[in-house]
Amino acid sequence: MKSQNELGRYLAVRRSRVTPRSAGITVLDRRRVPGLRREEVADLAGVSAVYYTRLEQGRARNPSDAVLDALARVLLLDPTERAHLHDLAHRGRDGRTAHRTAPPGGERGTDENGEHGAGAGGAGTRDGLKRLLAAVGAVPAYVLGPAMDVLDANGLARSLLAHPGREAPARWNLALQVFLDPTARRMYPRWEEVARQTVGFLRLSGGRRPRDPRLAEVVARLSGRSEEFRSMWSEQEVRDKTFGTKRFRHPVVGELDLAYETLALPGDEGCHLVVFTAPDPRADAALRLLGSWTAADPVGTNGTVGTVGTNGPEERTQRHRVPPGTVDEPVRPVGSVGSAESSVVAERG
């Protein structure tokens, strides 16, 4: 995650996406590229073309907030993108983006597989968060670190995000799962949307925490192993995790849409609490089915997720039927996800 001239690269990419028409410019000549020219951005923002060129080239430092706001207006940036522009410009100027890099609970080492030693159940999170996760056990909830490490999660979240038949990790990384786990495209039917959200959050987080070694490690690993990640990363998109709906395809309860809310944790800078809820009766029934499946054999009890007798999750689905009248059609498993091909959720090197 190189920080050198990130501001210039961001300005250049965003400039290339603003058409002259959207900026109110009448074009009288042919253009090689559809975006704005440097001198046009400078003129619309009220700065000299020489100064703006120096900004893109990384030769001008410490632009004022007024200049940044003017550039954000010309480049049609939304509030999240505007905040990211300020983060990039303020690096090293006033320390505003020099956040602490240790996850809540202090520094933790890594083992030979690249896993961070949070201990079973995420021992690195504070007791208050553990109690909160347990208290909302009726819905999936987890604590997400700035590099998209799942620092702690309740049992329902582990059952939703992990795979039956696989060893349950104490801690895993969602960004690595999305791009490097072969089963991710089956788990997320709208995979490209999830992938773009993932890249956008990592870039936004990197702008806020330019010296975070864990973020640099995750971005470097993804850049080296995923061509799709490299392509999306080059687009300079930023997205915050706030709220929305995500679609899952789970081998036990089938396909379901869940609404999520993401809450920043002020006492644990850079970390968020993510909580999923059911927006409709079918999703509610699926979550209750998954909850009963989880309660019958909690994740971590036997070292695997969802292995029951000889028949696996299908047998459990037969035991825990959806209460009648709650959905139009029964929730059926979509088939077991092959665990032999999946080796990256827990960040195996």
pLDDT digits (tens, 9 = 90+) for 90-123: 874 544 444 433 333 333 333 323 333 333 233 4
Q: What is the pLDDT of residue 31?
A: 76
Strands 254-264 and 243-250: antiparallel
**Tens digit of each residue's pLDDT (9 = 90 or more) over 285-305:** 999 998 887 776 544 433 333
- Stretches where the chain sits below pLDDT 50 are 1, 92, 94-123, 165, 298-349
Model pTM score: 0.66
Distance CA 63, CA 61 (A): 6
Q: What is the pLDDT of residue 308?
A: 30
Q: What is the pLDDT of residue 239?
A: 86
| Angle at the Cα of 333 from the Cα atoms of 327 and 337, rounded to 5 degrees | 150
Q: What is the pLDDT of residue 214?
A: 94
| Angle at the Cα of 195 from the Cα atoms of 192 and 201, rounded to 5 degrees | 140
Q: What is the pLDDT of residue 296?
A: 62
Distance CA 75, CA 35 (A): 10
Distance CA 259, CA 244 (A): 6
CB–CB of 155/139 below 8 Å?
no
Q: What is the pLDDT of residue 267?
A: 74
- Crossing angle of helices 213-225 and 191-208, rounded to 10°: 140
Q: What is the pLDDT of residue 22?
A: 83
